[in-house]
Amino acid sequence: MIINSYRFASVTLPADYGSGAIVAFSLRYVSSSYSGDVIRVRRSSDGTEQDFTPIEITDGTLTTFVGSGDGIVVKWYNQGTGGSTYDAEQNISSRQPKIISSGLLYAINGIAAISFSTDEMRFLAFASSGFTIFCATEPQFADATFLSGGDNTSNRFDAGVRTTTDTRTLVSESGTTTRINTTTNYMNDHMIYVGTKTDLRINGSSIQTGTISGDLQAYTSSNSIGARRYESSNTNVQYGQKFMQELIVYGTDQTSDISDIEDNINDYYSIY
């Protein structure tokens, strides 16, 4: 049995504040109540799939399993309060991101990361009353949006680095679109992104404030990790190269806890 060592420690993990994050995807444990597998990987050599814990990602178990080929992420398990209902999956093999390429583990600052190119993972959409989004990511090219969802242009949202002059949180609800964004270029920057309805933060600092009037919705289409998408078809979707290590989404405003959560993420990834 795998034990989450943080369960018995005094530290509060980043998905544990308030009533808890609804979804929490990471390659480490980010919830004291979760101690299961964090990803499911398919190896390119023969298509065999296997689940892995954080320890197995770092101790060589994963790379041994994959061998000299590619390790493709099939499922990213949800550690949040929404449970397995909100696991992120991708059933189309050509759109599955990689964690290993030609036998080498993708890593930033020596810590494992998932590489998204023309790839994405999908999870069930949910409605929020306020929201707080945390992401440890490194955008590489334009359209490096890391989280999005929606059914059409009138009801959608996206978060991440859209272009070299547009890092943002955007929500459109019933045709009313509001956003908080900055024109500062964060391309190729390893960052901790935080988005709320009133603030956009990068690496522990408030970059831009404003007011987003809408909330996240229980869209008919599933939400996307790794792409900018606002419907289930492939008509309105854009992909951009990025690395991702952690994505945590609260369906509430956790402004009072942001600094503590940022510190925990930064202490682990050494981003700034």
Per-residue model confidence as pLDDT tens digits over 87-137: 999 999 999 999 999 999 999 999 999 999 989 999 999 999 999 999 999
| Averaged pLDDT of the chain | 94
To the nearest whole percent, how much of the chain has pLDDT over 70?
Answer: 95
Using an 8 Å Cβ cutoff, are 17 and 261 in contact? Answer: yes
| Lookup: tokens for 251 | 């369906």
| DSSP 8-class letter at 9 | S
Residue 4 has pLDDT above 70, yes or no: no
Record the pTM: 0.94
Residue 27, sorted as left (phi over 0), alpha (psi -120 to 50) or beta, turns out to be alpha
* Residue 213 identity: S
Distance of CA 147 to the CA centre of its chain: 7
Compute the distance between CA of residue 85 and CA of residue 95 in angstroms, rounded to an integer: 21
Compute the distance between CA of residue 4 and CA of residue 244 in angstroms, rounded to an integer: 22
Q: How confident is the model at residue 9 (pLDDT cuts 50, 70, 90)?
A: low
